[in-house]
């Protein structure tokens, strides 16, 4: 009975987004283990936590099972989704599989925060090597994240004013998260979590 209750509690916690997604300190105080996951991704890939967090905010607003909205037929009938992107990172299946092959992390799930942060860090690292984008350049990293490295390298974003505006919002949010974390990082919970109690 107790193991089933623990599974239920853990799954309920994992699917609820933070109550205030505009404050990095509140996100990490509210979500046990997320700060450690973010630091692990930063250590593994060299992409700053605020940059990865800002990309995730833009992609899913921290909703674990986020999917793109369905298209509408005649404005009312639900149609197909525009892509198979899913989870915190909104990674598509083929890119997620490339991440799994590259890292050997075959058990990674798109609806797991830690795995998704690691994916974003990995992708930003790929953006450095494939597109020459600095790991702290949230604006260009987001453009590559959205368009893919091939699209970014071809400049597919240049005539997409809406996308340039979104990338600017990601850049500004990364700067905001940087300031916020600068004032609270030392007080954020580290290590343990639920399983640290035993």
For 91, the 3-state DSSP assignment is: strand
Distance CA 26, CA 181 (A): 10
Beta bridge partners of 72: 78
For 73, the 3-state DSSP assignment is: strand
Cβ distance 49 to 136 under 8 Å?
no
| Domains of the chain, CATH where assigned | 21-185 (1.10.530.10)
Query: How far is residue 198 from each of residues 170, 192, 194, 195, measured CA to CA in Å?
Result: 39, 9, 8, 6
pLDDT tens, N- to C-terminus, the chain (198 residues): 544 444 444 444 457 999 999 999 999 999 999 999 999 999 999 999 999 999 999 999 998 875 655 455 556 655 444 455 679 999 999 999 999 999 999 999 999 999 999 999 999 999 999 999 999 999 999 999 999 999 999 999 999 999 999 999 999 999 999 999 999 999 998 875 544 433
Strand spans (E) along the chain: 72-73, 77-78
Whole-model pTM over 0.75: yes
């Amino acid at each position: 009975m107790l193991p089933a209750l623990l599974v239920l509690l853990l799954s309920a916690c994992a699917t609820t987004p933070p109550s205030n997604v505009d404050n990095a300190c509140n996100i990490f105080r509210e979500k046990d283990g997320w700060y450690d996951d973010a630091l692990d991704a930063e250590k593994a890939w060299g992409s700053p936590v605020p940059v990865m967090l800002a990309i995730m905010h833009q992609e899913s607003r921290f909703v674990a099972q986020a999917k793109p909205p369905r298209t509408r037929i005649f404005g009312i009938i639900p149609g197909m989704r525009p892509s198979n992107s899913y989870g915190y990172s909104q990674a598509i299946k083929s890119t997620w599989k490339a991440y799994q092959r590259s890292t050997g992390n075959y058990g990674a799930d798109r609806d797991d925060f830690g795995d998704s942060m690691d994916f974003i860090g990995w992708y930003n690292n790929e953006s450095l090597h494939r597109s020459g984008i600095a790991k702290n350049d949230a604006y260009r990293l987001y453009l590559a994240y959205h368009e893919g490295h091939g699209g970014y390298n071809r400049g597919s974003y240049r005539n997409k004013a809406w996308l340039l505006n979104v990338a600017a919002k990601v850049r500004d949010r990364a700067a905001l998260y940087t300031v916020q974390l600068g004032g609270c990082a030392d007080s954020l919970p580290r290590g343990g979590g639920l399983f640290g109690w035993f």
